[in-house]
Amino acid sequence: MKSVDLVVIGAGPAGLMCAWKAASLSRSRVLVLEKNSKPGKKLLVAGSGRCNLTNSAPLETFFRSYGDSGRFVRPCLQNFPPSDLREFFESRGLPLEKLNGGKMFPRSGKSSDVLRVLLSACSAENAEIALSERVVSIVRAPGGFIVSTDKAEYGASCVAITTGGSSWPVTGSTGDGFALAAALGHSIVPPRPALAPVFPARYDCASCAGYALEGVHASLWKNGRKAGERRGDALFTHDGLSGPLILDFSRDFAPGDEIRLDLGSLSAHDRPQGESGPRCMDSLLADLCARFPKRTFANAVSSGLALSEALVKVVFSRAGADPSRTGAVLSKAERKAIASVLAEFSFTIERIGDFSVAMATAGGVDVSEANPKTMESRIVPGLHFAGEVLDVDGDTGGFNLQFAFSSGVLAAESAARILASATS
């Protein structure tokens, strides 16, 4: 049986960063076990192959971007903040650039360059990567662990589980880490899709597919009660809703919930903040009627509210109004009906995209059982976690990869300390 100091399970961004850092700190023998025949499969598809690896937002924004796990991620992001990540890549010849929303990408526009830098950093520190080796069990043993794959057994003083979540299973993230952690006594918060599109019941916006609402206000309603609100960019697809607003919000969604989009709230409109709702929309429409009495009212609404004609058609159909009538002949009741559809353009969620389309996994190893300052298990000394295997999921915009990298570094630093104290 081969023995090493640290076994890292999974060659994704968290695992590779962890392997590089541990090897560079302790000069210890680090072995990464990856079940795929190639490392970093999910990293390669991140950001549509361009890899949005972090964000230029201040740390406070980061802390707010991980839902309920905001407190847990603090020490790890403070220890290895986005500025250190940028320095890591730029000092290795991969300049980054900032695009819309503070999203940071490699200037080359290629995820493969991000992976190349990680692999060469590992290789420079002699961290070994064994491919096509699927870890099937981790057992505690005197002085550490025995890690078994489908091919061999390895002895290790420390182990880091960096197997990712369950989303996009074709990339290798099939939830193995949850079973491995559970077998060692860890609680697993039931995994569910996050950053997923939603599919409403009786979807009537297929004609709007590809159309994006920029900076729209959305509210979430559960059993008739408001359960949250957000603003961002939403996208109509052939069969549902997507775009950053919907993806980020999706961790709070459940079938049967209602999403209401305020179509009068787009960032393109220069209405004072706080002015919304059917009544306010009605006075806006009355104004449009007066300004454009001879245009069809659908046309006036489309240009007055900067909405596509296809979407306005759906609005009129929901309101039971005739889109070919002019503002001059529109009845007050019709106008009010149109106003209320516009202010509360509502969808009832039938289902949320499953793991095959979700970009992240909510749930995973319960963070109350990991030390946020070390990423070490509070149950099994020497066992560490990093990345999406933990119950941490961030918004779109580079927050998930930053957490994978930062938690990988923190786990490595802790493992290196343990290894150093064992030899001293």
Residues that bind ligand FAD (CB under 6 A): 9-15, 33-36, 41-43, 45-47, 51-52, 134-135, 162-164, 167-168, 172-173, 176, 359-360, 387-388, 398-401, 404
CB of 338 to ligand FAD, least distance (A): 38
CB of 248 to ligand FAD, least distance (A): 12
Residue 46 or 370: the one with the smaller Cβ distance to ligand FAD is 46
Residues in Cβ contact with 197 at an 8 Å cutoff, skipping those fewer than 6 apart: 237, 240, 241, 242, 246, 247, 250, 352, 353, 357
Asked if residue 262 lies in contact with residue 347, where contact means CB atoms within 8 angstroms, the answer is no
Asked if residue 388 lies in contact with residue 404, where contact means CB atoms within 8 angstroms, the answer is yes
DSSP 3-state assignment of 46? helix
CB of 220 to ligand FAD, least distance (A): 23
Residue 20 or 347: the one with the smaller Cβ distance to ligand FAD is 20
CB of 54 to ligand FAD, least distance (A): 7
| Residue whose C-alpha is closest to residue 400's, from 217, 167, 106 | 167
Residue 52 or 69: the one with the smaller Cβ distance to ligand FAD is 52
CB of 244 to ligand FAD, least distance (A): 11
CB of 247 to ligand FAD, least distance (A): 10
CB of 177 to ligand FAD, least distance (A): 6
Helix spans in 27-81 (H): 41-45, 59-63, 70-79
N- to C-terminal Cα distance for the chain? 25
Asked if residue 39 lies in contact with residue 19, where contact means CB atoms within 8 angstroms, the answer is no
CB of 282 to ligand FAD, least distance (A): 41
Residue 360 or 418: the one with the smaller Cβ distance to ligand FAD is 360
Residue 56 or 308: the one with the smaller Cβ distance to ligand FAD is 56
Helix spans in 251-398 (H): 278-291, 297-304, 309-319, 332-343
Asked if residue 322 lies in contact with residue 333, where contact means CB atoms within 8 angstroms, the answer is no
CB of 199 to ligand FAD, least distance (A): 18
Q: Hey, what are 315's tokens?
A: 């609005």
Q: Hey, what are 281's tokens?
A: 């929309």
Residues in Cβ contact with 329 at an 8 Å cutoff, skipping those fewer than 6 apart: none
Residue 311 or 370: the one with the smaller Cβ distance to ligand FAD is 370
Residue 36 or 371: the one with the smaller Cβ distance to ligand FAD is 36
Q: Give dist(CA 245, CA 335) in Å, integer.
A: 29
Residue 36 or 267: the one with the smaller Cβ distance to ligand FAD is 36
Angle at 341 between CA 339 and CA 343, to 5 degrees: 65
Residue 30: CA atoms inside 13 Å, Cβ hemisphere, count? 33
Q: Give dist(CA 105, CA 132) in Å, integer.
A: 29
Residue 136 or 310: the one with the smaller Cβ distance to ligand FAD is 136
DSSP 3-state assignment of 152? coil
DSSP 3-state assignment of 281? helix
Residue 195 or 205: the one with the smaller Cβ distance to ligand FAD is 195
Q: Give dist(CA 150, CA 139) in Å, integer.
A: 15
Q: Hey, what are 96's tokens?
A: 């980054």
CB of 28 to ligand FAD, least distance (A): 20
